[in-house]
Amino acid sequence: MRKISTSDNLYFKPRKPKLSDIELISLIILAEFKSLDSEYQLFREIQNWEIATKIERSVYNRRKRKLFFFIEQIRLKLVQQLQAFESYFVVDSMPLEVCKMARSAASKICKETPYAQPDHGYCASHRLSYYGYKLHAVCSIQGVFQCFDLAPASVHDIHYLQDIKSQLSATCRQRLSFPIQENGTTKAS
């Protein structure tokens, strides 16, 4: 963590908090490691620890959101260390449904910015038409995520593969190959 910042607090606060940003990030990493998804569960687990008196749950959530950029930098450094010698990656996507199809016309979720609007899509593996987004992820065979991206549901997986093809070859010195179909052509050519 010291490679990202030498200071204990990563952004300006008018009053010095009892729990430094570095300590908070350590707590966030601990929660991730222990697979504690809810803040309630995390604070119930740490209630007898000394750190519990230094931060409240509402403050924890607010500060955690403000530290996202720094946490992402730490995640990327960890990924670089863990995947230095990886040869194979898995690329997959999954649907993220915003609302049911019947409510899609009336839905106002994320429609204020044109580039981030949800869209209609189809997931062949679930045989599901849905309204929302598609989450694309690249991870190693050991399950360490290299990167992930959110796209409108109508974006086909092939287009995402074309986008990450150059990224993977540059960052991981890997060549992205596509499976050969029955007719002898590749899917992404």
Tens of pLDDT, residues 126-166: 898 999 999 888 888 877 787 788 888 888 878 777 777 76
Number of Cβ atoms within 10 Å of the Cβ of 79: 19
DSSP, residue by residue, 74-139: HHHHHHHHHTTT---EEEEEEEEEEE-GGGTTT--TT-SSGGG--EEEEETTTTEEEEEEEEEEEE
Per-residue pLDDT reduced to its tens digit, 27-78: 888 888 888 888 889 888 888 888 888 888 888 888 898 888 888 888 888 8
Does the structure show a pLDDT above 80 at 119? yes
Distance (Å, whole) CA 177 – CA 186? 9
Choose the most confident range, by mean pLDDT, from 15-24, 41-50, 82-91, 159-168: 41-50
Averaged pLDDT of the chain: 79
Largest separation between any pair of C-alpha atoms in the chain:
67
Q: What is the pLDDT of residue 7?
A: 62
Does the structure show a pLDDT above 50 at 189? no
Distance (Å, whole) CA 175 – CA 133? 27
Distance (Å, whole) CA 107 – CA 153? 15
Tell me the average pLDDT across 115-122.
Answer: 85
Q: Look at 31-45, 78-92, 165-179 and tell me which has the smallest mean pLDDT.
A: 165-179
Amino acid code (one letter) for 172: C
In terms of DSSP bridges, do strands 145-152 and 119-123 run parallel, antiparallel, or are they unpaired?
unpaired
b/e per residue 95-110 (b: at least 16 CB within 10 A): bebbeeeeebeeeeee
Q: What is the pLDDT of residue 20?
A: 84
Phi and psi torsions of 149, nearest 5°: -150, 150
Tokens, residue 184: 């002898």
As a whole-number percent, the residues of the chain with pLDDT over 90 amount to: 2
* pTM for the structure as a whole: 0.59
Contact between residue 136 and residue 168 where contact means Cβ atoms under 8 Å apart: no
b/e per residue 118-144 (b: at least 16 CB within 10 A): bbebeeeeeeeebbbbbebebbbeeee
Q: Which residues lie below 8 Å from residue 5, measured CB to CB, with a gap of 6+?
A: 22, 70
Distance (Å, whole) CA 92 – CA 113? 26
63 or 178: which carries more pLDDT confidence? 63
